Amino acid sequence: MNQPPYRRIADEIRARITAGQLRPGDPVPSARRITREWGVALATATKVLATLNTEGMTRALPGRGTVVADPTVPAQPAGTAARAARHNEGDPDLTRERIVASAIRVADAEGLAQLSMRRIATELGAAPMSLYRHVSGKDALLISMMDSVLGEDPLPARPPKGWRAQLELSSRMQWRGFRRHPWLALALSITRPQLVPNGMRHTEWALRALDGLGLTIQEMMHIHMTLFSHVRGLALNFEAEAQAEQDSGLTSDEWMQTQEHSFRDVAGAGDFPLLTRLINNGMELDLDQVFEFGLGRLLDGLERHLAGR
């Protein structure tokens, strides 16, 4: 009978541990590494690690993640584990800041879909319920995560001269933040904006850049939302591309190469002459270039709009 992929991979990692290739205390392959090395989906990789933890082959250590368990250290009996969990609830080292930082690391490495209070607790080597002493739940945690990463690159106290330079600066800062944290664009909502202080600072910055140009406050907000939608809309591809690369084992460029032959078959009828010319010229899909092109054209249009008022 064929084993399911997660079981086969768990057996291979267990064999490495048994053979001494991975020793007690050594980190085991992360979920991201498993997806790359074995070409499986992230959900399968997560199940591999959960299986090894359940079997006692690996353990989660605070600040280190999942490592090979030391067989000379007996597992705690249920009563001891429960008392340790209760003690951990008052652990002075478990702070809101540590929880938020750990959650950001998990989301950066594994995607927003894999983020859970239990997953963060495993990363910290803490009892899941102990996290609720510092954050009320996942929604509140997500707000703190967004506020933290949006504050990594603070807006300058002295803005550059001119509304265009100010809007270019804030848009590029947002783009860099979305690139560093692929989950961020998906987490931020336009239709139901969250109360994220560092995000609100970007809105205030944009409104201040446009203030005094003869626009109504509603027009100023529309301009801000148009620019932000351009930045966020393109950035939504980061999380999706990361997931697609994990699932397929192919980068975007490698995947495009696999599609070229099929496209030429479809284009052979002559229905898509311009797309065929584009492919023949070597199409490059660089999101950074698309971002800069779109930002420039939006600001060009706004400049003409303001000049005509």
For residue 155, give the 3-state DSSP assignment: coil
d(CA 253, CA 245): 10
Buried b (16+ CB within 10 A) or exposed e, 170-209: bbebbbebbeebbbbbbbbeeeeeeebebbebbbebbeeb
Q: How far is residue 190 CA from its own chain's centroid?
A: 18
d(CA 146, CA 100): 10
CB atoms within 10 A of CB 29: 20
The stretches in the chain having pLDDT less than 50 are 63, 76-89
Q: Tell me, what's the pLDDT at 150? A: 96
Q: Which residues pair with 60 in a beta bridge?
A: 66
CB-based contact 61:125 (threshold 8 Å):
yes
CB-based contact 115:106 (threshold 8 Å):
yes
Closest CA to 150 of 139, 162, 158, 142: 142
Q: What are the structure tokens assigned to 251, written together?
A: 């980068």
d(CA 39, CA 246): 7
For residue 59, give the 3-state DSSP assignment: strand
The string of pLDDT tens digits covering residues 198-245 is 999 999 999 999 999 999 999 999 999 999 999 999 999 988 887 777
CB-based contact 168:215 (threshold 8 Å):
no
Q: Tell me, what's the pLDDT at 133? A: 92
Q: Tell me, what's the pLDDT at 96? A: 92
Q: Tell me, what's the pLDDT at 31? A: 78
Q: Tell me, what's the pLDDT at 56? A: 84
Domain boundaries, the chain: 1-53, 91-150, 163-307
Per CATH, the number for 91-150 is 1.10.10.60
Q: What is the number of alpha carbons within 13 Å of residue 72 lying toward its C-beta?
A: 3
d(CA 25, CA 282): 48
Q: Tell me, what's the pLDDT at 9? A: 92
Residue type, 243: Q
CB-based contact 253:241 (threshold 8 Å):
no
Strands 65-68 and 58-61: antiparallel
Q: What are phi and psi of 179, to 5 degrees?
A: -65, -40
Could you tell me where the DSSP H helices lie in the chain?
5-18, 31-38, 42-54, 78-88, 96-110, 117-124, 138-150, 163-180, 184-187, 197-210, 217-248, 252-267, 273-280, 287-307
Q: Which fold has domain 1-53?
A: Arc Repressor Mutant, subunit A (1.10.10)
Q: How far is residue 281 CA from its own chain's centroid?
A: 33
1-53 against 163-307: fold identical = no
Q: Check if CATH label 1.10.357.10 holds for domain 163-307.
A: yes
